[in-house]
């Protein structure tokens, strides 16, 4: 069952019913000011950091679902009994005659008709401004004139979202606003150390306003039936403490058929510290710096050109790589939605979504490094800055904080540290940057450790420390020690937590000298292979040779201690017992080491990789994707940690943890199985799953972190959409390994591994300043095997295209036997 449809031409997903199984979200914003918005206008806004600079409130985990948003109310002032409704359905949930939500790239438009009034609101955040625009268009479809009241509302958050949700004894006394010339200013704490405030403005004159929540709603009433809306008049309340809001009332008469547009602005502004007040010495906000911005964006012409600029920005991003294959789900994801999701992951890591509260986590070290792998071609300069930010939080030991707050960019241990895989992802991110851009000079950038001035070393040294970090932490079998956990945050082999509520992310009861990770061994080899090339170029053959030796050593150990006979083992626990072995009663086989070890090149020649992938197919693959491990843990294991806290089939305990599926797609492609790789790709492809939206339940246009596994009662149900490494890895799997358009250090490798029934496909791609038009022909219907490549009509040796400059090139590729 579907709840909408893809409008590919417009790059939109159109939702045709407001009561989707879950709120279906979109992201607004590209630079510093951001918001999330649901299909019923729920969501919130923030400046840079969803925790530390939250502009508006959102009630996570609330009933009804999805409470708090950018709510507009319409009221029929001609009706004899009060009649009002929400054109976005929430919060009044009045039945609408027509409803449509169009989630597009950087904007959302919600359109509905009720009682002969058509309302359409487009929400977006212009480039270069710290504000959001709500562009409301109203059309009177009645045969006669109508008198309408329009109420637009926001509930302000007192900036620090964590404090806002917990520290009521203080917060009920600090709220402050100003209302001047029809603009509502939220200025809580501006009197003291904050130099920022929020504003809420309208292109029409407010007939009335409220800034005190209870004055607007009425005692014991909710956002679904505000007394101010019911009465049709607001009380011009000024909030003193309690809950400051912005509610503005506009009256409008529309003739039959008449159409009107109104602009609302919600924004964030900072003043220079010594110019905070006007007049100086007063407590009144200096508005001279913000008024020109407000005035500018209240002009319809400025709004439409801001919207056009935003579209041009997104089109520029999409253009970086477009593919045309025989499969619509591939094209739609690669060309539109995967890009949208990559941008969200780049901007927010795992911090702010419908499932991530914005206060739990900041920018993950492991996460944000991985997010760059398929992102670099979109915004290379941004990728470069992100790499330098991440590296600056690295510790002198080579280890990493698990996250940093986006506002401060300082690493912190709030969600734990000592995840021994973390530093290796930095190597992969830097390699991906160089492979895409050819810009080796990034290695020379001076970067501090732990952001401490004076500790700067070249980025290259950081990478060396990353590699050394693993080599300094080798366990009894010669495999890397796991630390708190590796990629699987919940495989906590040193935690031994027995107290309820103890965090698996921050508690460790063992010294960590025994438990080892086969996954980290695989990841190490993968990263060190890049280091061989980087070091070879940067410090010469001798250093490259050192890394080659380290690789051989770890590889040898994997075959000795990490191979279980028909698949790779997962780990060794604190008792030195294997995890992910046929000798275990539960958790016999895990997906992660199969993927990472094969991606690192292990077992490809001697058939072991094939064996491992056959084991995956036999034991882990389901129609809804490939499960993390089997059997799931049916009880809590002190020696395994959080993984066994989830009921079997959910999250890290054997769900289809989608992030890992592309590793198997890549591995299948490396072994030449194009049909298998693409089949796995389609199993978790959201567009392909659209037709089972009642089962999948999350948005059909973006990947979710997990789909419940076979052992779960809700098998096939997705959770934790949007912010997940699934996004980037699927993009990498389909574009670089299945379609096979793969940046390498020396150029662009063209090595497709596709379903043999495909006649071919084409790709337009920017690469190192050039524009490539690539056509792949598959006349003999093979999966893999490039027999000829022509660049601008001239045959080249091999399948590595070496170009740079600014030209356009026609590239033709023939597959065959």
Residues forming the site for ligand BGC (CB under 6 A): 415, 489-490, 505, 651-652
CA distance 743 to 521: 24
**415 touches which of ligand NOJ, ligand BGC, none (CB within 5 to 8 A by kind)?**
ligand BGC
Comparing CB distances to ligand BGC, the nearer of 361 and 683 is 361
Is 486 in the active site? no
CB 644 within 8 A of CB 488: no
Phi, psi of 255, rounded to the nearest 5 degrees: -70, 165
Strands 131-140 and 43-47: unpaired
Comparing CB distances to ligand BGC, the nearer of 243 and 349 is 349
Q: Is the peptide bond before 631 cis (omega within 30 degrees of 0)?
A: yes
**727 touches which of ligand BGC, ligand NOJ, none (CB within 5 to 8 A by kind)?**
none
Determine the size of the site formed for ligand NOJ (CB under 6 A).
9
By the rule CB under 6 A, 489 interacts with ligand NOJ: yes
Among 88, 353, 488, 735, binds ligand NOJ (CB under 6 A): 488
CA distance 630 to 590: 7
Q: Which residues of 655-664 are buried (b: 16+ CB within 10 A; e: fewer)?
A: bbbbbbbbbb
CA distance 803 to 438: 10
Strands 770-777 and 808-815: parallel
Rounded to a whole number of angstroms, the minimum distance from the CB of residue 418 to ligand BGC is: 13
Residue number, nearest CB to ligand NOJ:
489
Nearest residue to 439 (alpha-carbon basis) of 376, 370, 374, 391: 376
Beta bridge partners of 265: 133, 201
**487 touches which of ligand NOJ, ligand BGC, none (CB within 5 to 8 A by kind)?**
ligand NOJ
Rounded to a whole number of angstroms, the minimum distance from the CB of residue 597 to ligand NOJ is: 17
CA distance 516 to 479: 6
User: Any residues with CB less than 8 A from the CB of 202 and at least 6 apart, and which?
Assistant: 152, 182, 248, 250, 262, 263, 264, 265, 298
Comparing CB distances to ligand BGC, the nearer of 130 and 497 is 497
Q: Footprint of ligand NOJ on residues 365-384 (CB under 6 A)?
A: 366-367
DSSP state for residue 633 in the 8-state scheme:
P
CA distance 462 to 440: 15
Among 487, 650, 663, 737, binds ligand NOJ (CB under 6 A): 487
Comparing CB distances to ligand BGC, the nearer of 505 and 667 is 505
Q: Is the peptide bond before 758 cis (omega within 30 degrees of 0)?
A: no
CA distance 313 to 307: 10
Comparing CB distances to ligand BGC, the nearer of 586 and 652 is 652
Q: 547: which 2 tokens? A: 């890394």
- Which listed residue (76, 327, 486, 489) is catalytic? 489
Comparing CB distances to ligand BGC, the nearer of 534 and 706 is 706
**651 touches which of ligand BGC, ligand NOJ, none (CB within 5 to 8 A by kind)?**
ligand BGC
Give the x/- contact pattern for ligand NOJ in 441-460, rule: CB under 6 A: --------------------
Stretch that binds ligand NOJ, among 287-295, 331-339, 360-368, 799-807 (CB under 6 A): 360-368
Give the x/- contact pattern for ligand NOJ in 634-663, rule: CB under 6 A: ------------------x-----------
Rounded to a whole number of angstroms, the minimum distance from the CB of residue 355 to ligand NOJ is: 11
Stretch that binds ligand NOJ, among 2-10, 486-494, 690-698, 711-719 (CB under 6 A): 486-494
- How many CB atoms lie under 10 A from the CB of residue 810? 12
Q: 117: which 2 tokens? A: 């009034």
Rounded to a whole number of angstroms, the minimum distance from the CB of residue 591 to ligand BGC is: 15
DSSP state for residue 647 in the 8-state scheme:
P
Rounded to a whole number of angstroms, the minimum distance from the CB of residue 343 to ligand NOJ is: 17
CA distance 554 to 529: 12
**505 touches which of ligand NOJ, ligand BGC, none (CB within 5 to 8 A by kind)?**
ligand BGC
Stretch that binds ligand NOJ, among 485-493, 506-514, 608-616, 739-747 (CB under 6 A): 485-493
Q: 237: which 2 tokens? A: 């309340």
Nearest residue to 658 (alpha-carbon basis) of 587, 600, 733, 714: 733
Nearest residue to 641 (alpha-carbon basis) of 745, 502, 543, 759: 502
Comparing CB distances to ligand BGC, the nearer of 473 and 651 is 651
**367 touches which of ligand BGC, ligand NOJ, none (CB within 5 to 8 A by kind)?**
ligand NOJ
Give the x/- contact pattern for ligand NOJ in 312-351, rule: CB under 6 A: --------------------------------------x-
Cite the beta strand spans of 672-752 per DSSP E.
Answer: 704-707, 718-721, 741-744, 747-750
Comparing CB distances to ligand NOJ, the nearer of 36 and 415 is 415
Active-site amino acid positions? 489
Residues that bind ligand NOJ (CB under 6 A): 350, 364, 366-367, 487-490, 652
């Amino acid at each position: 069952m579907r709840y909408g449809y893809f409008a590919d031409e417009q790059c939109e997903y159109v939702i045709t019913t407001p009561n989707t199984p879950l709120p279906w979200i979109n992201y607004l914003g590209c630079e510093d000011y951001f918001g999330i918005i649901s299909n019923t206008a729920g969501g919130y806004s923030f400046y840079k950091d969803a925790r530390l600079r939250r502009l508006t409130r959102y009630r996570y985990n609330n009933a009804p679902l999805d409470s708090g948003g950018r709510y507009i109310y319409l009221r029929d002032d001609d009706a004899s009994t009060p009649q009002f409704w929400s054109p976005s359905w929430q919060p009044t949930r009045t039945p609408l005659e027509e409803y449509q939500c169009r989630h597009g790239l950087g904007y959302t438009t919600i359109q509905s008709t009720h009682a002969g009034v058509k309302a359409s609101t487009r929400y977006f955040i212009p480039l270069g401004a710290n504000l959001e625009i709500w562009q409301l268009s109203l059309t009177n479809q009645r045969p006669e004139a109508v008198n309408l009241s329009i109420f637009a509302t926001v509930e302000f958050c007192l900036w620090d979202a964590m404090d806002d949700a917990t520290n009521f004894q203080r917060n009920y006394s600090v709220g402050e606003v100003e209302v001047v010339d029809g603009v509502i200013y939220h200025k809580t704490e501006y009197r003291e150390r904050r130099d920022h405030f929020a504003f809420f403005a309208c292109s029409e004159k407010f007939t009335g306003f409220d800034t005190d929540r209870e004055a607007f709603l009425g005692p014991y009433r909710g956002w679904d039936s505000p007394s101010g809306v019911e009465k049709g008049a607001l009380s011009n309340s000024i909030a003193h403490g309690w809950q400051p809001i912005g509610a503005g009332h506009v009256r409008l008469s529309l003739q039959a058929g008449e159409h009107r547009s109104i602009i609302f602005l919600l924004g964030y502004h900072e003043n220079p510290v010594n110019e905070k007040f006007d007049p100086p010495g007063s407590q009144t906000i200096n508005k001279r710096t913000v008024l020109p911005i407000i005035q500018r964006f209240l002009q319809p012409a400025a709004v439409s050109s801001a919207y056009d600029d935003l579209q041009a920005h997104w089109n520029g991003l999409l253009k970086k790589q477009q593919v045309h294959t025989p499969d619509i789900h591939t094209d739609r994801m690669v060309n539109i939605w995967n890009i949208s999701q990559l941008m969200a992951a780049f901007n927010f890591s795992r911090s702010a979504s419908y499932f991530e509260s914005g206060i739990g986590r900041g920018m993950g070290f492991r996460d944000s490094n991985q997010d760059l792998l398929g992102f670099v071609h979109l915004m290379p300069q941004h990728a470069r800055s992100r790499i330098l930010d991440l590296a600056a939080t690295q510790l002198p030991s080579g280890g990493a904080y698990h996250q940093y707050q986006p506002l401060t960019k300082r690493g912190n241990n709030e969600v734990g540290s000592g995840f021994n895989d973390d530093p290796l992802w930095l190597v992969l991110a830097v390699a991906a940057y160089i492979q895409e851009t050819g810009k080796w000079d990034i290695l020379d950038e001076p970067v501090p450790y732990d952001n401490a001035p004076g500790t700067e070393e070249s980025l290259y040294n950081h990478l060396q420390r990353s590699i050394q970090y693993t080599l300094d932490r080798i366990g009894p079998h010669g495999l890397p020690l796991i630390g708190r956990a590796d990629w699987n945050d919940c495989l906590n082999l040193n935690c031994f937590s027995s107290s309820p509520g103890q965090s698996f992310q921050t508690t460790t009861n063992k010294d960590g000298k025994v438990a080892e990770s086969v996954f980290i061994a695989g990841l190490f080899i993968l990263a060190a292979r890049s280091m061989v090339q980087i070091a070879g170029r940067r410090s010469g053959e001798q250093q490259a040779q050192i890394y080659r030796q380290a690789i051989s050593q770890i590889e040898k150990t994997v075959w000795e201690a990490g191979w279980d006979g028909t698949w790779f083992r997962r780990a060794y626990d604190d008792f030195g017992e294997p995890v992910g072995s046929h000798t275990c009663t539960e958790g016999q086989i895990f997906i992660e080491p199969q993927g990472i070890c094969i991606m690192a090149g292990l077992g490809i020649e001697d058939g072991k990789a094939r064996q491992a992938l056959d084991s995956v197919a036999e034991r882990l693959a389901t129609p809804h994707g490939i499960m993390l491990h089997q059997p799931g843990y049916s009880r809590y294991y002190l020696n395994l940690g959080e993984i066994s806290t989830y009921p079997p089939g959910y999250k890290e305990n054997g769900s289809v943890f989608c992030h890992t599926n592309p590793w198997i797609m890549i591995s299948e492609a490396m072994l030449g199985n194009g049909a298998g790789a693409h089949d796995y790709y389609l199993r978790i492809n959201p567009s392909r799953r659209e037709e089972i939206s009642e089962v999948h339940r999350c948005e059909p246009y973006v990947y979710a972190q997990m789909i419940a596994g076979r052992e779960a009662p809700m098998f096939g149900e997705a959770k934790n959409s949007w912010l997940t490494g699934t996004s980037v890895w699927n993009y990498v799997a389909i574009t670089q390994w299945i379609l096979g358009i793969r940046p390498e250090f020396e150029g662009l490798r063209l090595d497709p591994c596709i379903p043999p029934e495909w006649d071919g496909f084409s790709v337009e791609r920017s690469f190192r300043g050039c524009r490539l038009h690539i056509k792949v022909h598959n006349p003999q219907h093979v999966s893999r095997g490039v027999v000829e490549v022509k660049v601008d009509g001239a045959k080249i040796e091999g399948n590595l295209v070496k170009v740079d400059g600014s030209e356009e090139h026609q590239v033709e590729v023939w597959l065959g036997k």
